[in-house]
Chain A
């Protein structure tokens, strides 16, 4: 098979690394060659962050380039639009509809673009947009947005629900297992 590309984008501090960690673990267990590329340091302080997950028979580059992503999993709406040009033709954007204003918007020097979901769709892009925060809160923690999104993207893979839940159980601290499993299932079944 050719290499598949998944980008996980969001705002530093949103927990994007846990989603890529779980995804990487599942893919490795399934026997794929996997590369996951992360961003550490300065950008983590509330900046735009991206994690690349690539898998296939043999993966060379650790990063995904413009026009290559099969799926972009976005924790924040503006970030989905920012990284959209990385999507390949017929790719899908899965995005949280929640908006976090970046500093230029807070400082009043720029505006947060309106109607981004329909503007992305107008470009012929498949967009699966929903309020992950509401589902995360339903699961018991606003911080579980990452598992809601992971649940949503899980429908793009052939792994069984049991396999996903088992990976969650073995990857997160015990006291958060139930909340994370619930958030995952809410995202998967939404």
Chain B
């Protein structure tokens, strides 16, 4: 049946049909929907793990046991999971294992623009790179075959425009498979030096065999062109831009397998054309391979290593004219994302700004606390870095401890904040950590996590108690506060920052977008009393605006959180 499917949904369908039994992932844009979609199939067990390292190890455990498994993550998640990935490349698998990772060129929703293809090369794992939804589906199925044929976990690399574009897919039916018998094999699976040293040559031999496969597999194919003056080597979404810009003018070698890449196929292709162009987003991976095998190409000197491509960018790279549209003469103000109306994080950031604290923050919706007018953030690096970082920030300069906090969400805390907190307790810095507990993983679109009491399938499950957890790792001062209550939030933050020992403040209030959260409805205002002082505008609420010198409330957006009401000295906001 032909369907319009998101690349991620198509990948999920392919994994499902190939008989995937076990899925463990951590959400991250643009990878999240692979796991959300496969979780809808009752035949598949699927879970959110606390982080990507746990997800990969759990999925590997399932493969080791004899079940086809999958784990999904975004590009930066691969950094977290890199430790097991590099070693399961040595052990190989029992049943097939696929690792999905999704890059984000252009950084639509990420803190960096790293190119995951480096990981496949460094870990010596095969990596398949689909260019649309049909290929996402096909390659997901193929990944399991290769995984079992070559005894190796296979990486399936998505990117934003493949993951989040819908295109037509012809789907099939799931094939149920026998569980692969589990047999003890210590030489293969116990990676102590004496065994690992014998596995390494097997890895190198496997790469040779995979290269032979890459030479002949239809996954690397040539689209014929009208003129052999130029030849293009490309992959992933760049292929689509090349075809859009050039049509069938020049032959195109489209690589579906990005590691290992073929040698002879590329050399023969290059020999059959005049100049060879390599069109690839981000780093020069294909280009470097071509140079290594003696093929001279034009690549990054024309096609930037920065950001996403498009058909116009590619057309311009080939010297073609592009007609762009007209603009209005006015400057169009930017519309950056902002904390939502009713967002509980807003109250915390307002107080942090008011108290002029140093704020070491983390990854999640609350990173938007950095945006004006709140502007209440000093750094954001990666998952968990707020809690570990504040320890280093305050340890040798105790006076800084009185002026600084770490801020981290509930899901991010479970992901990799806990170990940082253990370090604060164990190595005794006087740090203050604020856990913004909105009882969900917000930014990626409301995924459950170990603190919510529900699992990925939506069933009730063990709920980790954050207070108990913080106490258990050795933090004595743990205070819970409602971030809608500005006065109390301010009092608690002042008190805990001043305290002579480490503390955790849990600012608890569920995400305003959660369906079960009931809002009192828009606040009423007494506009006549407004003097236009703009004090209420300091919280950056999208429901509030000054029109003709006085406040207005957007009643379609205002949830009635009443954070703003505490800021008005004239009794304008929130009248009964």
Contact of B227 with A by CB under 8 A: no
Q: By the criterion CB–CB under 8 Å, are B240 and A62 in contact?
A: yes
Interface segment out of the listed A84-92, A146-154, A156-164: A84-92
Select B540's contact among A25, A59, A106, A111, beta carbons within 8 Å.
A106
Select A110's contact among B331, B445, B534, B556, beta carbons within 8 Å.
B331
Q: By the criterion CB–CB under 8 Å, are B540 and A107 in contact?
A: yes
Q: By the criterion CB–CB under 8 Å, are A113 and B332 in contact?
A: yes
A residues within 8 A CB of B244? 60-61
Chain A residue at smallest Cβ distance from B239: A60
B residues within 8 A CB of A11? 335
Residues 318-358 of B contacting A (Cβ, < 8 Å): 322-340
Q: How far is the CA of A81 from the CA of B336 in the complex (A)?
A: 16
Residues 1-40 of A contacting B (Cβ, < 8 Å): 11-13, 24-25, 28, 33-40
Interface segment out of the listed B162-170, B275-283, B386-394, B471-479: B162-170
Q: How far is the CA of A63 from the CA of B237 in the complex (A)?
A: 10
Q: By the criterion CB–CB under 8 Å, are B545 and A106 in contact?
A: yes
Contact of A166 with B by CB under 8 A: no
Residue with the highest number of chain A CB atoms closer than 10 Å, among B108, B165, B372, B443:
B165
Q: By the criterion CB–CB under 8 Å, are A82 and B168 in contact?
A: no
Residues 47-69 of A contacting B (Cβ, < 8 Å): 47-48, 59-63, 65-69
Contact of B365 with A by CB under 8 A: yes
| Interface residue total, chain A, C-beta cutoff 8 A | 64
Q: By the criterion CB–CB under 8 Å, are A82 and B2 in contact?
A: no
Q: CB-CB contacts of B235-272 with A at 8 A, as 1s and 0s?
A: 00101110110000000000000000000000000000
A residues within 8 A CB of B537? 106-108
Contact of A94 with B by CB under 8 A: no
Interface segment out of the listed A116-124, A173-181, A182-190: A116-124
Q: How far is the CA of A12 from the CA of B340 in the complex (A)?
A: 10
Contact of B469 with A by CB under 8 A: no
| Interface residue total, chain B, C-beta cutoff 8 A | 63
Q: By the criterion CB–CB under 8 Å, are B333 and A12 in contact?
A: no
Q: By the criterion CB–CB under 8 Å, are B29 and A42 in contact?
A: yes
Q: By the criterion CB–CB under 8 Å, are A40 and B164 in contact?
A: yes
* Nearest CB in chain B: distance from A38 CB, A: 5
A59-B167 CB under 8 A given contacts A67-B323, A124-B326: yes
Q: How far is the CA of A82 from the CA of B542 in the complex (A)?
A: 19
Binding site for A on B (CB under 8 A): 2-4, 6, 29-30, 32-33, 108-109, 132, 161-162, 164-168, 237, 239-241, 243-244, 310-312, 322-340, 365, 368, 371-373, 443-445, 534, 537, 540, 542, 544-546, 554, 556
Sample (25) of A-B pairs whose CB atoms are under 8 Å apart: A34-B4, A37-B164, A39-B164, A40-B108, A40-B109, A40-B164, A42-B443, A43-B109, A46-B337, A60-B244, A60-B311, A61-B244, A62-B162, A62-B240, A67-B325, A85-B327, A86-B325, A103-B373, A104-B334, A106-B542, A106-B546, A107-B537, A108-B534, A116-B330, A123-B326
19 additional contacts (CB under 8 A) given A62-B161, A79-B335, A123-B328 = A11-B335, A12-B337, A36-B4, A36-B166, A39-B108, A41-B108, A42-B109, A45-B443, A60-B243, A62-B132, A62-B240, A67-B324, A87-B325, A88-B323, A102-B334, A109-B372, A113-B333, A116-B328, A116-B330
Binding site for B on A (CB under 8 A): 11-13, 24-25, 28, 33-48, 59-63, 65-69, 78-79, 81-82, 84-89, 91, 100-113, 116, 119-120, 123-125, 142
